[in-house]
């Protein structure tokens, strides 16, 4: 199975009404050298300035980003190339990240290569620690910059640490 760590940035809380501005993905393996980065033109006139500010882009800059259908098609192709079998979506906050990726895939390509499920890195770590108040964020090596590739890479590093240091049974 291929685990793909994904992180997204948006200009609001939900897809459709608001837009996914950018996202990054990294194939989880020891090298962490297979990445994808997409910047998407907004699909809605609505945006929350404070939410958009997290991405580091202005509204004007985002208007020059790529067509979402093109980006999602390219991401689907990349996913097929790096996954020998079924890809598994995992993220720091899969409730948020998955919602946007799933909606964009179905809306712009008609299907989602990840199927209908995702995994949550934070919940996985809480289970390893047997403590719902624990956070994995100290296991990241790459700084959390809100560049979605950096953030996905840092989260993938945390997952690799869980495998090495805590004996997590996971195949890459």
Domain boundaries, the chain: 2-166
Confidence label for 1 from pLDDT (cuts 50, 70 and 90): confident
Kindly tell me if the per-residue pLDDT of 60 is higher than 90: yes
For the question of residue 138 being annotated catalytic, the response is no
Instruction: Look at residue 28 and give its three-state secondary structure.
Output: coil
Q: Are strands 119-120 and 87-91 parallel, antiparallel or unpaired?
A: parallel
For residue 10, the 8-state DSSP code is: E
Q: What is d(CA 76, CA 156) in angstroms, rounded to the nearest whole number?
A: 20
- Each residue of 93-124: pLDDT tens digit? 999 999 999 999 999 999 999 999 999 999 99
Cα–Cα distances in Å, from 106 out to 12, 14, 73, 138?
19, 15, 11, 34
Q: What letter would DSSP give residue 142?
A: S
Q: How confident is the model at residue 146 (pLDDT cuts 50, 70, 90)?
A: very high
Rounded CA separation 63/47 (Å): 12
CATH classification code of 2-166: 3.30.420.10
Cα separation of 50 and 71, whole Å? 24
> Which is catalytic among the residues 107, 138, 144, 146?
146
Both tokens of 112, joined, read 């989602």
pLDDT the model gives residue 138: 97
- Tokens 């992180």 identify what position? 7
Gap between the Cα atoms of 98 and 164, Å rounded: 26
């Amino acid at each position: 199975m291929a685990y793909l760590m994904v992180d997204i940035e948006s200009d609001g809380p939900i897809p459709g009404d608001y837009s996914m501005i950018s996202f990054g993905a990294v194939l989880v393996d020891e090298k962490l050298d297979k990445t994808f980065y997409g910047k998407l033109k907004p699909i809605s006139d609505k945006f929350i300035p404070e939410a958009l500010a997290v991405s580091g882009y202005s509204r004007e800059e985002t208007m020059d980003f790529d067509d979402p259908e093109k980006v999602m098609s390219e991401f689907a192709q990349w996913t097929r190339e790096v996954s020998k079998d079924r890809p598994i979506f995992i993220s720091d906050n899969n409730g948020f990240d998955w919602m946007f990726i799933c909606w964009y895939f179905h809306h712009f390509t008609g299907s989602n290569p990840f199927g209908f499920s995702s995994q949550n890195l934070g919940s996985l770590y809480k289970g390893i620690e047997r403590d719902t108040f624990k956070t994995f964020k100290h296991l990241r090596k790459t700084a959390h910059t809100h560049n979605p590739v950096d953030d996905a890479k840092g989260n993938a590093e945390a997952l690799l640490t869980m495998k090495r240091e805590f004996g997590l049974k996971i195949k890459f």
